[in-house]
Amino acid sequence: MSEVEYKGIKLKGSKLLLILPLLGTLGGALWAGFEGYARWVAMEEKINEYVAPDLSGFTLRLEVLEERIVSLQENVNIETSTLKELVGAAQDDARTIRTDIRNDVHEAHDQIANVDKRSRAMEQDVRTSLRQTETDLRTMIDHANDRFDSKRTAIESDAQRRIELIDSKLSDLETKLREMLQRALDNPLAGQ
């Protein structure tokens, strides 16, 4: 038997205890080495088998796109010149419309002045009618208040009568219930 001490820990046993972990470590290192080599060989085969993709389709598409861009630029130039012509024509039309609008505004101003005179006369008539309507409404409101007060008084008296009737019936019911309860309590068979 041998004794091994490592960092203050003492182990007693055979030398086989030292050899087993050492063999396990060597076996793991060998297995890792073989596995790494096998992967390296597989990677090397894949790299050697690699073929670059055919990009001719992309080149053709780029040429078509360039042709489209050139065509679009030509169309934009044509449309820009057309728009400049349209803007010039629109400016001329705007000047004509502005002149017409000024004339229409002056005419409308004159018509508004005439309407203003007529509306002042109508305003006087409306004020007179409003005063008369206000007087009529006040009379109607006073009459409605009197009717409302009489109806409210009738409803209150009816409600008071019903309350008194309900109180009377509740009092009678309470008396009957007391009598029935007293009979039940006085019953000699009730306790059994």
Tell me which of 115-119, 147-151, 188-192 is least confident. Answer: 188-192
pLDDT over 90 (residue 7) = no
Q: What is the pLDDT of residue 36?
A: 95
Tell me which of 37-41, 49-53, 176-180 is least confident. Answer: 49-53
pLDDT over 80 (residue 129) = yes
Mean pLDDT of the chain: 87
Tokens encoding 144: 């409605």
Task: Please state, for a pLDDT cut of 70, what percent of the chain lies above it.
Answer: 92
Task: Provide the pLDDT confidence category of residue 159 given band limits of 50, 70 and 90.
Answer: very high
Alpha-carbon span 146 to 153, nearest angstrom: 11
Alpha-carbon span 130 to 190, nearest angstrom: 82
Tokens encoding 81: 């010149």
DSSP state of 7: T
pLDDT over 80 (residue 101) = yes
Average of per-residue pLDDT across 155-161: 93
Q: What is the pLDDT of residue 192?
A: 57
For 31-47, b where at least 16 C-beta lie within 10 A, e where not — what string?
eeeeeeeeeeeeeeeee
Q: What is the pLDDT of residue 9?
A: 73
pLDDT over 80 (residue 52) = no
Average of per-residue pLDDT across 30-46: 94
Domain coordinates in residue numbering, the chain: 14-49
Q: What is the pLDDT of residue 49?
A: 87
